[in-house]
Structure 1
Amino acid sequence: MKQVSKILLPLSSTRNAEAAFILGANFARRFSAHLAVLHVRSDGRDIAPLAGEGLTGGMVEELISSAEKEGGRRTREIHQAFENFAARTPDIESVPPRIPFPQGRPSMSFNVLRGAENEVVPWHARLSDFTLVPHLDSGDEISSSEALHAVLFDSGRPAVIAPREPMTHMIKRVCIAWNGTAEAASALRGVLAWASVAERVRVLHCDDYQRRGPDAREVVDYLSMHNITADRQEFLPIDRDIGRGLLGACQDFGADMLAMGAYSHSRLRQLILGGVTRHVLEHNMLPIIMSR
């Protein structure tokens, strides 16, 4: 059964978009899938309720007009970046953003919708096989983070976070971070599409990372039921940092992708105290498939 047919790529800015475009195109080629590029343009009128007291009607209108101009400029920049990439990628057909998409060959589309990004993106992500998100330092970091968190918490689908630098080769080595949680199990299910075509797969585990649940040996057995051969490797924290140890183990393996559960602890606790999810998001140099 084909596991990937539609890939959603939401863009809020053009910074780091090139790396996401290249990775998305490689995914589209690998699975003969459709890459749906989406830009959510905010409505300038939404700024009116946020305007402070003491502003005249004319001042509010001026703020709305300024927001509309900025939104239009950003939309044009993103659309032009897509058009430039499409022109350089003739092997992937550029089509209108509506179903049915071409079957049996890679394609891509560009669409602009009005609304709140944290509402529109997860809505479309729910009917995509996964959502590709540019690295979190792209453009407005807060906006990018909100898009990722909206996908993780509100879509029911996995997210793939692109690295900062373009990755031009196909994924050959996949690491799976395992700690026995439901989040890790969801990420495991999401990575099967890549693991099934990878040259090597490794399950990474650590006593300090493990929670109550199945262990790494059972994950290897589960993968074998999907005709995926994997080994397992214990890693150690580096300077008491599990996330750093995890990424170090990926580097030692020469991994092209890491799958892991996101926010096994609450998001607030991760933001205040740090955590594995936060460390990986801030330091990833390879695609990370995350699920919650």
Structure 2
Amino acid sequence: MSFKTILTVTSPGHGDADLKLGAALCEDVEAHLAVFVVGLAAPPPIGAYAAVVSEAWYQERQVDLEKLQARTDAVSGLLASMTISSDIASEYQEIAWADEAIGRRARYADMALLGPDGLSSDELKTNVVEGVLFHAGKPLLLVPAGHTPTLSPKRIMVAWDGRLESSQAVAWSLPLLRTAEDVHLVLVDPVEGNEEHGEEPGADAAAYLARHGVRVVVDRVPSQGRDVASALRQHAVDTAADLLVMGAYGHSRLRQRIFGGVTSSMLESPPLPVFMAR
């Protein structure tokens, strides 16, 4: 498949950097840019003092709605000045349900982009990641500061662990992998065996990619006392990768939040553009 609709999400108080990255990407591949402006509402007061603070809470919501409208108008003006195809929607949502609202919008896109603005805001980042990956089942492109997104990367590194999430990420990224000059399928401390990576770790995945016309080599990387995320980061540098493809949340979100993991590490500080799916 090709990526014909790309979603970006913004909120009041955020800048236009992510929108401009998304617009440039859409212009490059002749895609449509969908923008969702989401206002995050504070939960209503509860308890003994609810009656006292309810008026202040109501006034706060009115201010939030005014800010949301102002941000929506500003984004509309920005989109009108561009030559790309685009649309905009906005919604004021309780924080607890914002990820579902974002997911509903993401279902009508081929992928979503989360750039430096979104990555710097824990609240917005969490809602975008969970909305896109869990409520829409679509891939997410993370673009850290200092990087320019592209859907024509020359050197791609695929983090492969044999799980369903890795398989989904590979399937979604096939259009990118086919056109890349160099694809490294990377396994960190792979374990042989039918219930792990097979008799020759990486061979089955490489054969699958080769049948799709992907020029792929298998790299079996020892962790050498490092965590998996650190090993992947270093190998991305060693191979001069332009893009990292990886599955997201091979473990539960709760476990990731408590104990950390590769997904959490990459979301916290992506070393290069990351194409993430599950």
* TM-score category (smaller protein): 0.7 to 0.9
1:118-267 mapped onto 2 (5 Å cutoff) = 118-135=99-116, 137-139=119-121, 141-167=122-148, 171-207=153-189, 212-213=196-197, 215-237=201-223, 239-267=225-253
Q: Does 1:55 align with 2:50?
A: yes
SS in 2 for 1:24: helix
| CA pair 13-171 structure 1, distance change in 2 beyond 3 A | farther
* Among candidates 113, 123, 133, match of residue 91 of structure 2: 113
**More off after superposition, 184-193 vs 249-258:** 249-258
Contact 1:22 1:168 in 2 (8 A): no
| CA pair 27-196 structure 1, distance change in 2 beyond 3 A | farther
C-alpha distance in structure 1 between counterparts of 2:54 and 2:145, whole Å: 38
Contact 2:156 2:244 in 1 (8 A): yes
Query: Across the two proteins, how many residue pairs are aligned to each other?
Result: 269
**More off after superposition, 206-215 vs 241-250:** 206-215
Which runs of no fewer than 5 residues in structure 1 stay unpaired?
A: 94-106
C-alpha distance in structure 2 between counterparts of 1:153 and 1:260, whole Å: 15
1:7 is aligned to 6
1:96 is aligned to none
Q: Which runs of 4+ in 1 moved over 4 A?
A: 13-17, 208-211
Q: CA deviation at 1:208?
A: 5.3
| CA pair 145-235 structure 1, distance change in 2 beyond 3 A | same
1:30-41 mapped onto 2 (5 Å cutoff) = 30-41=28-39
* Among candidates 58, 63, 69, match of residue 69 of structure 1: 63
Contact 2:11 2:71 in 1 (8 A): no
Q: Does 1:23 align with 2:21?
A: yes
C-alpha distance in structure 1 between counterparts of 2:208 and 2:165, whole Å: 16
Q: CA deviation at 1:127?
A: 2.5
C-alpha distance in structure 1 between counterparts of 2:164 and 2:138, whole Å: 14
Contact 1:122 1:154 in 2 (8 A): yes
State the Cα deviation string for residues 4-42 of structure 1 (Å, max 9, x = none). 111111223554751x33432343134321110111234
Opposite residue 271 of structure 2, the aligned amino acid is: M
C-alpha distance in structure 1 between counterparts of 2:145 and 2:246, whole Å: 19
C-alpha distance in structure 2 between counterparts of 1:209 and 1:13, whole Å: 47
Cα-Cα RMSD: 2.8
Opposite residue 163 of structure 1, the aligned amino acid is: P
- Give the TM-score, by structure 2 length: 0.84
Which runs of no fewer than 5 residues in structure 2 stay unpaired?
A: none
SS in 2 for 1:128: coil
Q: CA deviation at 1:79?
A: 4.7
| CA pair 36-269 structure 1, distance change in 2 beyond 3 A | same
Contact 2:189 2:223 in 1 (8 A): no
| CA pair 265-33 structure 1, distance change in 2 beyond 3 A | same
Residue identity (%): 26
Opposite residue 109 of structure 1, the aligned amino acid is: D
Opposite residue 60 of structure 1, the aligned amino acid is: S
C-alpha distance in structure 2 between counterparts of 1:229 and 1:218, whole Å: 14
Q: CA deviation at 1:209?
A: 8.3
Contact 1:206 1:235 in 2 (8 A): yes
C-alpha distance in structure 1 between counterparts of 2:191 and 2:272, whole Å: 21
Q: Does 1:281 align with 2:267?
A: yes
